[in-house]
């Protein structure tokens, strides 16, 4: 029982760390281009995209963990690491696609089939996996960090979506409207989070 409580505490602490203190978007700028496209894309549901991203992050964590341990004894592991992790993400993406393809009665199935590759082939997923493995996280820590990174991405999307109508204000100079002011806004949020956490939490 004590081990279960301890493992759960580690899982949730790493999830919270990834959501706030080490948010993939605001601290490492991972997946920013996709996020900016997502905010302006009325065809893609932010909630469904976030859900698929979270599922992908959690599923990739154990696959990448096993793959990382497999290549750890090799001399050229540094060169193989990105390729092996990209292969792990592709494997999970194919598995998700197959499951959705088989579930014919699933609501919004066609939308999910379109979102799966967008969520999986995202620099946020690969970046999170590389952080987990280069920092030698345990399986529990990797699962928590993966889930937290997905939720942190959703939080970033919600913050940028919420600010869309303010970022269209006529008070903003014409040259800055659209993508430039969105990137400035993301940068200001990143600075705010960095100022809040400081140097105390660095992975």
Q: Is residue 202 part of a domain?
A: no
* Region for residue 198 given its phi and psi (left: phi exceeds 0; alpha: psi -120 to 50; beta: otherwise): left
Q: Is residue 59 part of a domain?
A: yes
pLDDT at 196: 67
- Look up residue 60 and give its two tokens: 């990739």
Q: Is residue 69 part of a domain?
A: yes
Q: Is residue 203 part of a domain?
A: no
26: containing domain: 1-197
DSSP readout, 111-178? HHHHHHHHHHS-HHHHHHHHHHHHTT--HHHHHHHHHHHHHHHHHHHHHHHHTHHHHT-TTS-GGGTT
Measured distance CA(47)–CA(136) in Å, rounded: 31
pLDDT at 121: 83
pLDDT at 44: 81
pLDDT at 72: 87
pLDDT at 120: 86
Q: Is residue 37 part of a domain?
A: yes
Number of domains in the chain: 1
What's the pTM?
A: 0.86
pLDDT at 55: 93
pLDDT at 203: 47
pLDDT at 85: 94
Ranges in the chain, pLDDT < 50: 201-203
Q: Is residue 181 part of a domain?
A: yes
């Amino acid at each position: 029982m004590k081990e279960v409580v301890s493992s759960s505490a580690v899982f949730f602490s790493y999830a919270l760390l990834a959501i706030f203190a080490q948010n993939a978007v605001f601290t490492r700028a991972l997946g920013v281009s996709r996020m900016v496209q997502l905010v302006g894309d009325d065809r893609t549901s932010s909630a469904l995209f976030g859900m698929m991203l979270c599922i992908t992050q959690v599923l990739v964590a154990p696959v990448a963990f096993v793959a990382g341990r497999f290549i750890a004894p090799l001399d050229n592991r540094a060169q193989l690491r990105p390729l092996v992790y990209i292969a792990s993400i592709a494997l999970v993406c194919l598995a998700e696609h197959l499951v959705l393809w088989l579930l014919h009665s699933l609501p919004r199935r066609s939308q999910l089939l379109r979102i799966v590759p967008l969520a999986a082939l995202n620099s946020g997923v690969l970046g999170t996996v590389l952080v987990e493995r280069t920092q030698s996280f345990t399986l529990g820590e990797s699962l928590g960090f993966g889930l937290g990174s997905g939720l942190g991405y959703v939080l970033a999307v919600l913050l940028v979506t919420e600010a869309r109508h303010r970022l269209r204000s006529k008070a903003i100079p014409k040259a800055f409207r659209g993508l430039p002011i969105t990137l400035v806004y993301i940068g200001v949020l990143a600075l705010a989070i960095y100022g809040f956490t400081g140097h105390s939490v660095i992975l």
